[in-house]
Structure 1
Amino acid sequence: MAEEAKAKGNAAFSAGRFEEAAGFFSDAIDLSPTNHVLYSNRSAAYASLLRYSEALTDAQKTVDLKPDWSKGYSRLGAAHVGLGNLEDAIAAYKKGLEFDPNNEALKTGLLDAQSAARSRSGPASSPFGNIFQGPDVWAKLTADPTTRAYLQQPDFLRMLQDVQRNPNNINMYLMDQRMMQVLGVLLNIKARTGTGEEMEREVPMSEVVPPESKKRPEPEPVKEAEREPMEIPDEEKEMRQRKAEAQKEKEAGNAAYKKKEFETAIQHYSKAIELDDADISFLTNRAAVYMEMGKYEDCIKDCDKAVERGRELRSDFKMIARALTRKGTALAKLAKCSKDYEPAIEAFQKALTEHRNPETLKKLNDAEKAKKELEQQEYFDPKIADEEREKGNEMFKQQKYPEAVKHYTEALRRNPEDPKVYSNRAACYTKLGALPEGLKDAEKCIELDPTFSKGYTRKGAVQFFMKEYDKALETYQEGLKHDPNNQELLDGVRRCVEQINKANRGDISPEDLKERQAKGMQDPEIQNILSDPIMRQVLVDFQENPKSAQDHLKNPQVMHKIQKLVSAGIVQIK
Structure 2
Amino acid sequence: MSVSDDHKQQALAAKTRGNDYYKKKEFKEALEEYGRAIGLDPLDMTYHLNSAAVHFELKDYEECIKQCDKAIEVGRENRQDYTIIAKAYARMANAYHKKDDLENAKTYYQKSLTEHRTRETMAKLSDIEKALKDRERLLYINPEKALEEKTLGNDLFAKGDYPNAIKHYTEAIKRNPEDAKLYSNRAACYQKLAEFQLALKDCEQCIQLDPHFVKGYTRKGLALIAMKEFSKAQTAYEKALEIDKNNQEAIEGFKKCILSSSSNPDEVRKRAMADPEVQQILSDPAMRLILEQMQTDPKAVQEHLKNPEIQSKIYKLMESGLIAIR
TM-score range, shorter-chain basis? 0.7 to 0.9
Tell me, yes or no, if structure 1 residue 371 matches structure 2 residue 132: yes
Aligned-pair CA distance for 1:308: 2.2
Aligned-pair CA distance for 1:325: 0.8
Q: Which residue of the partner structure matches residue 528 of structure 1? A: 280
- Corresponding residue to 2:152 among 358, 376, 391: 391
* Greater fraction of residues in helix: 2
Aligned-pair CA distance for 1:479: 2.7
Distance in 2 between residues matched to 1:399 and 1:301, nearest whole Å:
61
Q: Which residue of the partner structure matches residue 262 of structure 1? A: 27
- Corresponding residue to 2:188 among 416, 420, 427: 427
Distance in 2 between residues matched to 1:559 and 1:293, nearest whole Å:
58
Q: Which amino acid aligns with 1:377?
A: L
Structure 1, unpaired ranges of 5+: 1-234, 507-512, 542-547
Distance in 2 between residues matched to 1:566 and 1:502, nearest whole Å:
17
Q: Which residue of the partner structure matches residue 296 of structure 2? A: 551
Aligned-pair CA distance for 1:432: 2.0
Q: 1:484 to 1:248 in 2, by over 3 A?
A: farther
Aligned-pair CA distance for 1:315: 1.5
Q: Which residue of the partner structure matches residue 69 of structure 2? A: 304
User: Is the 2:294–2:300 contact (alpha carbons within 8 Å) kept by the matching residues of 1?
Assistant: no
Q: 1:532 to 1:405 in 2, by over 3 A?
A: same
Secondary structure at the counterpart of residue 264 of structure 2: helix
Give CA deviations for 1:36-62 in whole Å, capped at 9, x if unaligned. xxxxxxxxxxxxxxxxxxxxxxxxxxx
Secondary structure at the counterpart of residue 285 of structure 1: helix
Distance in 2 between residues matched to 1:289 and 1:400, nearest whole Å:
63
Q: Which residue of the partner structure matches residue 253 of structure 2? A: 492
Aligned-pair CA distance for 1:352: 1.2
User: Is the 2:187–2:203 contact (alpha carbons within 8 Å) kept by the matching residues of 1?
Assistant: yes
Q: 1:502 to 1:560 in 2, by over 3 A?
A: farther
- Corresponding residue to 2:111 among 346, 350, 353: 350
Q: Which residue of the partner structure matches residue 244 of structure 1? A: 9
TM-score with structure 2 setting the length: 0.87
Distance in 2 between residues matched to 1:369 and 1:566, nearest whole Å:
41
- Corresponding residue to 1:462 among 223, 233, 236: 223
Within 5 A, what are the aligned runs for 1:88-99?
A: none
Distance in 1 between residues matched to 2:312 and 2:48, nearest whole Å:
69
Q: Which residue of the partner structure matches residue 405 of structure 1? A: 166
Aligned-pair CA distance for 1:536: 4.1
Distance in 2 between residues matched to 1:503 and 1:529, nearest whole Å:
23
Distance in 1 between residues matched to 2:192 and 2:218, nearest whole Å:
14
Secondary structure at the counterpart of residue 42 of structure 2: coil
Distance in 1 between residues matched to 2:98 and 2:200, nearest whole Å:
40
Give CA deviations for 1:253-307 in whole Å, capped at 9, x if unaligned. 2222222222222222122111112222211222122112211111111112222
Aligned-pair CA distance for 1:348: 0.8
User: Is the 1:500–1:567 contact (alpha carbons within 8 Å) kept by the matching residues of 2?
Assistant: no
Aligned-pair CA distance for 1:242: 1.2
CA RMSD in angstroms, aligned pairs only? 2.7
Q: 1:301 to 1:561 in 2, by over 3 A?
A: closer
Aligned-pair CA distance for 1:564: 5.5
User: Is the 1:553–1:559 contact (alpha carbons within 8 Å) kept by the matching residues of 2?
Assistant: no
Within 5 A, what are the aligned runs for 1:99-178?
A: none
Aligned-pair CA distance for 1:520: 2.8
Q: 1:571 to 1:486 in 2, by over 3 A?
A: closer
User: Is the 1:470–1:564 contact (alpha carbons within 8 Å) kept by the matching residues of 2?
Assistant: no
Secondary structure at the counterpart of residue 473 of structure 1: helix
Aligned-pair CA distance for 1:518: 5.7
State the aligned residue count. 317
User: Is the 1:552–1:559 contact (alpha carbons within 8 Å) kept by the matching residues of 2?
Assistant: no
Relative contact order (C-alpha < 8 Å, sep 6+): which is higher? Answer: 2
User: Is the 1:419–1:445 contact (alpha carbons within 8 Å) kept by the matching residues of 2?
Assistant: yes
Q: Which residue of the partner structure matches residue 447 of structure 1? A: 208
Q: 1:564 to 1:280 in 2, by over 3 A?
A: closer
Q: Which amino acid aligns with 2:69?
A: D
Q: Which residue of the partner structure matches residue 98 of structure 2? A: 333
Q: Which residue of the partner structure matches residue 56 of structure 2? A: 291
TM-score with structure 1 setting the length: 0.51
Larger-gyration structure (1/2): 1
Q: Which residue of the partner structure matches residue 362 of structure 1? A: 123
Q: Which residue of the partner structure matches residue 135 of structure 1? A: none
Secondary structure at the counterpart of residue 260 of structure 1: coil
Distance in 1 between residues matched to 2:49 and 2:246, nearest whole Å:
69
Secondary structure at the counterpart of residue 304 of structure 1: helix
Q: 1:369 to 1:454 in 2, by over 3 A?
A: same
Distance in 2 between residues matched to 1:269 and 1:296, nearest whole Å:
17
Q: Which amino acid aligns with 2:77?
A: E
Distance in 2 between residues matched to 1:370 and 1:549, nearest whole Å:
53
